[in-house]
Amino acid sequence: MQVTPQSIWSDIVKIREQFPLIHNITNYVVMNNTANALLALGASPAMAHAEDEVAEMVNIANALVINIGTLSPHWISGMEKAILKARELYKPIVIDPVACGATALRSTTMQTLLQLANPSVIRGNASEIKALVSANIKTRGADSSECSDAAIEDALQLAQTYQCTVVVSGATDYIIDNKDVTKIYNGHPMMTKVTGLGCTATALIGAFVSVNSDIHQAASHAMAVMGIAGEIAVKKSVGPGTLQLHFLDTLYQLDAQQLMNYLKVEAV
Ligand SMILES: Nc1ncnc2c1ncn2[C@@H]1O[C@H](COP(=O)(O)OP(=O)(O)O)[C@@H](O)[C@H]1O
Ligand SMILES: Cc1ncsc1CCOP(=O)(O)O
Ligand SMILES: [Mg+2]
């Protein structure tokens, strides 16, 4: 398994040709942004959380993204139904444990959903990944209070527990499973000043796993695209407001040459 400009580009072409439907049960804060990011990449987003329709939506979707950013009881039931249907149909499930460790509701819900889901990928920042492993870790909210390097051991443990790929995002993005560790060095600190770019990363992972069954490679491709689009967009931006706009436009215009010019990856 390698992560190269060519391997990333090959997946982007597939996404743009196949227009995969990505079903997101996500949060109020980022719904619009993540839908737009999926469209800009070339995928087709659907945001649906009602208990009465999620199974039908999963039925036609190519991947399911579960994000616990703004939880409530009915949403949790919807997430459970969607997960059960996705498992029945062998569709990939990607999980974002937003602010896990900040409140008991988030931590307990996440444990229940993870056991139910058998996820393909869990993507969080360092604080969230650590909180998933140790119940005594308390986080301050959606933003990480630690560097991604601090969660490598926890990510490995999580990957072993759920037999899945774990992504820890941050200055360096770590993509970790039982066998491989991939590090992506792309990105820019200003990305942490735009709410929802972590959730966007998780949604893009959904798009990549829908066209690439090598889950570790697909997740690495998504994080590389996030970082590269972020870096290019920052150059055109004067702050987080314009970064949000330029990020979408850059994603839409991303080409093979830019991947060659910008990719900074290391496989361990
Ligand atoms: N210090 C940083 N330097 C470069 N890129 C970063 C940095 N922090 C986060 N990113 C990038 O921002 C995106 C969102 O990641 P992150 O901020 O860790 O997620 P979250 O919003 O869930 O906390 C990712 O693509 C990540 O690579
Ligand atoms: C701020 C906030 N609060 C609940 S969900 C959410 C968005 C978090 O998005 P991200 O983790 O991608 O910054
Ligand atoms: Mg997040």
**pLDDT at 124 (0 to 100):** 98
Structural domains in the chain, CATH included, are 5-267 (3.40.1190.20)
* Contact of 63 with 206, CB cutoff 8 Å: yes
Which of 125, 191, 193 most suits a substitution to test ligand 1, by most atoms within 8 Å of the C-beta?
A: 191
pLDDT digits (tens, 9 = 90+) for 200-229: 999 999 999 999 999 999 999 999 999 999
Is 196 annotated in a binding site? The answer is: yes
Is 47 annotated in a binding site? The answer is: yes
Tell me, in angstroms, the distance from the centre of ligand 1 to residue 124's CA. Answer: 10
Per the DSSP assignment, residues forming a β-bridge with 64 are 23, 93
At 219, list the tokens.
């997740």
* Ligand 1 site residues, Cβ closer than 6 angstroms: 125, 143-144, 169-171, 173, 187-189, 191-192, 197-198, 201, 226-227, 230
Tell me, in angstroms, the distance from the centre of ligand 2 to residue 19's CA. Answer: 26
Residue type, 54: V
Non-local CB neighbours of 163 within 8 Å, separated by 6+ positions: 118, 178
**pLDDT at 1 (0 to 100):** 82
**pLDDT at 9 (0 to 100):** 98
Other Cβ atoms closer than 10 A to 88: 11
Judged on CB neighbours under 10 Å (0-12, 13-18, 19+), 266 is exposed
Is 169 annotated in a binding site? The answer is: yes
Non-local CB neighbours of 193 within 8 Å, separated by 6+ positions: 239, 240, 243
Judged on CB neighbours under 10 Å (0-12, 13-18, 19+), 146 is middle
Tell me, in angstroms, the distance from the centre of ligand 2 to residue 88's CA. Answer: 29
The sign one gets for the Cα dihedral 49, 55, 57, 63 is positive
Cα–Cα dist 125/242, whole Å: 23
**pLDDT at 135 (0 to 100):** 79
* Ligand 2 site residues, Cβ closer than 6 angstroms: 27, 29-30, 69-70, 98, 142, 195-199
Alpha helices in the chain (DSSP H): 5-18, 31-41, 54-60, 73-88, 104-117, 126-133, 152-162, 197-211, 215-235, 240-253, 256-262
Is 170 annotated in a binding site? The answer is: no
Cα–Cα dist 119/247, whole Å: 28
Which of 195, 204, 226 most suits a substitution to test ligand 2, by most atoms within 8 Å of the C-beta?
A: 195
Tell me, in angstroms, the distance from the centre of ligand 1 to residue 144's CA. Answer: 9
Distances (CA, A) of 263 to 9, 13, 16, 92, 116: 11, 17, 20, 26, 35
**ipTM of predicted complex:** 0.99
If DSSP codes are grouped into helix, strand and coil, which group holds residue 68? Answer: coil
Name the stretches of the chain with pLDDT < 70. none
